[in-house]
């Protein structure tokens, strides 16, 4: 049966994210048609949600779904990235009219989004690839939304996207509280804005996830250092993270870390929950995509990549357990002040975080040249302020940095961040050296420090490296006393080889 009133928008794919996004849209007064390949799921969803302000319209076939939508049609796809997305698009295309808009809200690889946008444009259709961040809770009560694609299509989607997005206070950057986080709210700035053409939205979502990998790992290193160097128990560390959440590190991930550390094991109340969780971390691939892209573009993003590798090494549980019996560490203990070290770990976390964000923003800066986008970095930081996993008060400072200088080459060069790192670097260095001396792994803290020291070095040992390349491969070198771009080669002697015994 076709609905009498055409729906404002439609959504394909009623897994949890799809259901929650549909309910969020309907809560804001938009009529939304839904379709799912398995029809029972649609029936159940409609039956479970009889009352919504905008109205949910269940449809049993793609043809009914398409016919139920107001023109130009707007259809969100929320199915697994990759083949499923292509399958749904292929099913929709023959049923559509010129100028209809398909919106992919999945975690698509941005190059797929570029391809799809081009293919659909060739068929007279419009395509938006929108990052949707914030998990299930975000989708339901206010996600951070990163749309990329044809600008006109965005303008049609904008009223819905702005209505359902998380909202933050423009001055403080803090989420506007509601009955539940992000909902219901009035006023504030929505955490969505047009990102750029074709794959720009999905690219920025990928960088968000890469940054998220970095943030999570850095928090884990702070926890490992407090535990390894000071022997603190989970609940006490939970208290420290709660305190940190009142200051410059105020963020969703610090907040949930405090909650997690205070949580008892439901099977044994005497134990901390975190102590019974197996230490192997999974991953879905967006951190890897970010790191691979960094290598492809030649942009240094070592801290984000270290965070991915940290998950990889965590997954080698059996090997690590075996190696722990053979490979010995230094056996050195920290004997200084607890309070001073906790503060130093805080500072190390803050400085490392600044470097990790600097790397993420460097990636976006290079990608915009590579793909011809015009990204607004201050606005992107603003979109990250609410709704998503990396939401944090700190992002307001990034917005302010780009307002001061839209052409900022690296976040570290902004006066605010420069000052923070200057003040806190002594503590950061202390923590990284203690970690090394006492044998506590701190891959992102130390890689961030190396990044900082490399970036601030007017001269790196690459002079020797290039000389090596010239020696064995005649790769040539430039000279410090000659203009850049002039290449030289030295006639090296034959390498001396050890004499073979007769």
As a whole number of angstroms, the distance between CA 7 and CA 58 comes to 11
CB closer to ligand 2AM out of 44 and 174: 44
Structure tokens that stand for 418 in this block: 């420069």
CB closer to ligand 2AM out of 37 and 264: 37
Q: Give the helix/strand (H/E) hosting 271.
A: strand 268-272
Verify binding: residue 44, ligand 2AM, rule CB under 6 A: no
Long-range CB contact pairs, 423-432, < 8 A, 24+? 424/347, 424/348, 424/350, 424/351, 425/351, 425/452, 427/343, 427/344, 427/346, 427/347, 427/348, 428/344, 428/347, 428/348, 428/351, 428/352, 430/344, 431/225, 431/341, 431/344, 431/345, 431/347, 431/348, 432/348
Verify binding: residue 323, ligand 2AM, rule CB under 6 A: no
Active site residue 494: no
Q: Which pairing describes strands 189-190 and 9-12: parallel, antiparallel, or unpaired?
A: unpaired
Tell me which of 80, 94, 152, 247 binds ligand 2AM, using CB under 6 A: 80
CB closer to ligand 2AM out of 7 and 107: 107
CB closer to ligand 2AM out of 87 and 340: 87
Verify binding: residue 116, ligand 2AM, rule CB under 6 A: no
Verify binding: residue 108, ligand 2AM, rule CB under 6 A: no
Q: Give the helix/strand (H/E) hosting 265.
A: strand 264-265
Does the CA dihedral 147-149-150-153 come out positive or negative? Answer: negative
Stretch of 11-19, 125-133, 166-174, 317-325 contacting ligand 2AM, by CB under 6 A: 11-19
Verify binding: residue 14, ligand 2AM, rule CB under 6 A: yes
Verify binding: residue 15, ligand 2AM, rule CB under 6 A: yes
Verify binding: residue 16, ligand 2AM, rule CB under 6 A: no
Q: Give the helix/strand (H/E) hosting 131.
A: strand 126-133
Closest CA to 454 of 362, 336, 330, 347: 362
Report, in Å, the least distance between residue 316 CB and ligand 2AM: 30
How many positions of this chain bind ligand 2AM (CB under 6 A)? Answer: 13
Stretch of 35-43, 108-116, 174-182, 288-296 contacting ligand 2AM, by CB under 6 A: 35-43
Reduced to 3 DSSP states, what percent helix, strand and coil does the chain have, rounded to the nearest 5? 55, 10, 35
Structure tokens that stand for 312 in this block: 């990889």
CB closer to ligand 2AM out of 12 and 189: 12
Stretch of 9-17, 136-144, 297-305, 346-354 contacting ligand 2AM, by CB under 6 A: 9-17
Tell me which of 1, 4, 38, 51 binds ligand 2AM, using CB under 6 A: 38
Structure tokens that stand for 308 in this block: 């991915």
- The secondary structure of 463-498, three-state, reads HHHHHHHHHHHCCCECCCCCCCCCCECCCCCCCCCC
Active site residue 205: yes
Tell me which of 63, 84, 224, 438 binds ligand 2AM, using CB under 6 A: 84
Verify binding: residue 106, ligand 2AM, rule CB under 6 A: no
Work out the widest C-alpha separation in the chain, in whole angstroms. 96
Report, in Å, the least distance between residue 25 CB and ligand 2AM: 16
Verify binding: residue 87, ligand 2AM, rule CB under 6 A: yes
Which residue is catalytic, options 117, 150, 212, 221? 212
Catalytic residue numbers, as ranges = 205, 212
Residues that bind ligand 2AM (CB under 6 A): 13-15, 18, 36-38, 41, 79-80, 84, 87-88
């Amino acid at each position: 049966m076709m609905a009498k009133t055409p729906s404002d928008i439609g959504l394909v794919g009623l897994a949890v994210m799809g259901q929650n996004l549909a309910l969020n849209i309907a809560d804001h007064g938009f009529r939304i048609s839904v379709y799912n390949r398995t029809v029972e799921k649609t029936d159940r969803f409609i039956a479970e949600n009889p009352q919504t302000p905008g109205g949910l319209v269940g449809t049993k076939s793609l043809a009914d779904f398409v016919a139920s939508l107001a023109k130009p049609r707007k259809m969100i796809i929320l199915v697994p990235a990759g083949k499923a997305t292509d399958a749904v698009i292929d099913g929709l295309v023959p049923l559509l009219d010129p100028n209809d808009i398909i919106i992919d809200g999945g975690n698509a690889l941005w190059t797929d989004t570029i391809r799809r946008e081009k293919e659909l444009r060739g068929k007279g259709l419009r395509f938006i690839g929108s990052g949707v961040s914030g998990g299930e809770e975000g989708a339901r009560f206010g996600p951070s939304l990163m749309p990329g694609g044809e600008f006109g299509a965005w303008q049609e989607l904008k009223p819905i996207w702005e209505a359902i997005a998380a909202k933050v206070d423009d001055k403080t950057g803090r989420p506007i509280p509601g009955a539940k986080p992000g909902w219901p709210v009035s006023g504030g700035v929505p955490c969505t804005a047009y990102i750029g053409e074709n794959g720009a939205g999905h690219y920025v979502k990928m960088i968000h996830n890469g940054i998220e990998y970095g943030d999570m790992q850095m928090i884990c290193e702070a926890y490992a250092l407090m535990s390894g160097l000071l022997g603190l128990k989970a609940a006490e560390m939970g208290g420290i993270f709660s305190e940190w959440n009142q200051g410059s590190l105020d963020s969703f991930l610090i907040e949930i870390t405090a909650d997690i550390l205070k949580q008892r094991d439901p099977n044994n109340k005497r134990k901390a929950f975190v102590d019974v969780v197996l230490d192997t971390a999974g991953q879905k691939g967006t951190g890897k995509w970010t790191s691979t892209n960094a290598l492809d573009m030649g942009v240094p993003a070592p801290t984000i990549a270290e965070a991915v590798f940290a998950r990889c090494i965590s997954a080698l549980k059996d090997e690590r357990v075996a190696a722990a019996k053979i490979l010995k560490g230094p056996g050195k203990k920290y004997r200084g002040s607890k309070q001073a070290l906790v503060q130093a770990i805080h500072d190390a976390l803050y400085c490392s975080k600044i470097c990790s964000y600097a790397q993420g923003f460097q990636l976006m800066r290079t990608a915009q040249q590579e793909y011809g986008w015009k990204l607004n970095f201050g606005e992107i930081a603003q979109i990250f302020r609410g709704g998503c996993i990396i939401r944090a008060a700190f992002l307001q400072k990034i917005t302010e940095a780009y307002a001061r200088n839209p052409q900022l080459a690296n976040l570290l060069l902004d006066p605010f961040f420069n000052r923070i790192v200057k003040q806190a670097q002594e503590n950061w260095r202390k923590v990284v050296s203690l970690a090394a001396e006492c044998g506590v792994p701190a891959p992102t803290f130390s890689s961030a420090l190396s990044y900082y020291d490399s970036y601030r070095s007017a001269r790196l040992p690459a002079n020797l490296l290039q000389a090596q390349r010239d020696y064995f491969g005649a790769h040539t070198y430039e000279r410090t006393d000659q203009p850049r771009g002039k290449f030289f080669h030295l006639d090296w002697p034959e390498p001396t080889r050890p004499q073979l015994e007769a």
